[in-house]
Structure 1
Amino acid sequence: MHTRLALDCSTTGLSLALQMDSGETFAFTTTEARSSDLLPTALQSLFTQSATAAANLTHIYVTTGPGSFTGIRLGLAVAEALKMVNPALAIIGLPTLHALAAQLIATTPPQGAFTLVTDAAGGQLYAQTFTAEGDAHTAAACVPATTSFTIPVYASPLLMRAGALPMPPLSAHTLFTLAHQTSVHLPPQPVYLKPLTYKLAP
């Protein structure tokens, strides 16, 4: 039995899903604070529900950011740990904002180009503009939270501003669909757009 795992720790909350050969999916999603702490337990629960194990995984699709510094590293660390159990496992990185765009188009398709914004903390946003078909129109960037946009903006509930449209939390199930677009596949490495605010010890 071959199984695929989709995992997002880069946004607020946590979402993961197991997809079986039959297409049946087992999923867990939460938007609770510090929900990444639940990852090991949630993953084991999905393995139990699906009557499968890490040794049966063939692919892991994991979001690489931009997003939570800690969450991105955690998701990638879990993927690498699972690969130690199953060296043949393929780990494929997927850009977080592309995943959010794909989910939006699948649920409430915009009528034209649109911009997605997510929280970068410290008075900043991660932003990227997409075509109505979900292709990247601009590169992802870290911008001041006061930045004005001239086309429709979709934002998470905590970032809602005048004229913005709601963007639901990312569901890991979306990653299975996005994975078919090989043009957006990335190495399993973090995408950091925000400069680090600390200095490494000498």
Structure 2
Amino acid sequence: MTTPHATLALDCSFAGLSMAIQIDEGSVHFTTEAPRSSDILPTELQRLMQQANVTVKDIRTILVAIGPGSFTGIRLGLATAEAFKLLNPSLQIIGLSTLQALATQIRADHHPQTDFTVLLDAAGGQAYTQTFSANAEPHTTAACSAVPPTEGTLFAQASLMHATATPITTLDARHMLTLAQNTDAHLPPQPVYIKPLTYKKVQ
């Protein structure tokens, strides 16, 4: 019997939780907008692995969204990947930018014809922003700044309530599998916070 070569994609950095497992025959996935992903991750991950009929030893690569995004979610995703590596030391962990993964999803879902900007809520009237080409290639580095004026094509996290933006509700981890085919997008499995850890939200 051939041992499956499985890849797990995991995002806890954006809204809710999204996971996908790719095997030779295809992929299975789970996505929810529900908060507190730490409460459901173990159960849903176990269920997804059973659905894919794989074990920890079958997973050769983990793709993990490393931010920018939720501080807690970023750490949760990386900790989960490291826990798998303890059980399977030969496993490879690859970091992927949350913003570029979302850009890959936007390209697939909306087929933009020009450059576009992705905005994620960074709290305190700020947003994590990055501009991409129509092919989802980054034109600028990720930054944290005040919510920009209403110019160009914008795709924004719904909580920003930006009048001219198309809302983004979740990151589907299947698009992380697509992004990972571009080795230039591979990053070290280290958190991308952008905002200083000492940041305190203004009341």
Q: 1:51 aligns with which of 50, 53, 58?
A: 53
Q: Is the 8 A contact 1:63 1:94 kept in 2?
A: yes
Aligned ranges 1:73-112 → 2 under 5 Å: 73-112=75-114
Paired with 1:179 and 1:164, the residues of 2 have a C-alpha distance of 27
Q: Which amino acid aligns with 2:53?
A: A
Match of 1:155 in 2: 156
Paired with 2:175 and 2:103, the residues of 1 have a C-alpha distance of 10
User: How far does the alpha carbon of each residue in 1:6-60 deviate from its partner, in whole angstroms, 9 at most, with x for none?
Assistant: 000010100001111222x121111012123211111111112222111110110
> Quick one: structure 1 residues 12 and 168, their matched pair in 2 at CA, closer, same or farther if it must change by over 3 Å?
closer
TM-score in terms of structure 1 length: 0.93
Q: Is the 8 A contact 1:116 1:155 kept in 2?
A: yes
| Residues paired across the two proteins, number | 197
Q: Is the 8 A contact 1:93 1:187 kept in 2?
A: yes
Sequence identity (%): 54
Match of 1:63 in 2: 65
Runs of 5+ in structure 1 lacking a partner? none
Q: 1:124 aligns with which of 105, 112, 126?
A: 126
Deviation at 1:149, TM superposition (A): 4.8
Q: 1:7 aligns with which of 10, 15, 25?
A: 10
TM-score in terms of structure 2 length: 0.92
Q: Is the 8 A contact 1:118 1:156 kept in 2?
A: yes
Q: Is the 8 A contact 1:13 1:36 kept in 2?
A: no
Paired with 2:111 and 2:57, the residues of 1 have a C-alpha distance of 37
Q: Which amino acid aligns with 2:7?
A: R
Q: Which amino acid aligns with 2:190?
A: Q
Runs of 5+ in structure 2 lacking a partner? none
Deviation at 1:129, TM superposition (A): 0.5
Paired with 1:36 and 1:111, the residues of 2 have a C-alpha distance of 37
User: How far does the alpha carbon of each residue in 1:49-80 deviate from its partner, in whole angstroms, 9 at most, with x for none?
Assistant: 22211111011011110000000011000001
Corresponding residue SS for 1:41: helix
Corresponding residue SS for 1:189: coil
Paired with 1:163 and 1:175, the residues of 2 have a C-alpha distance of 26
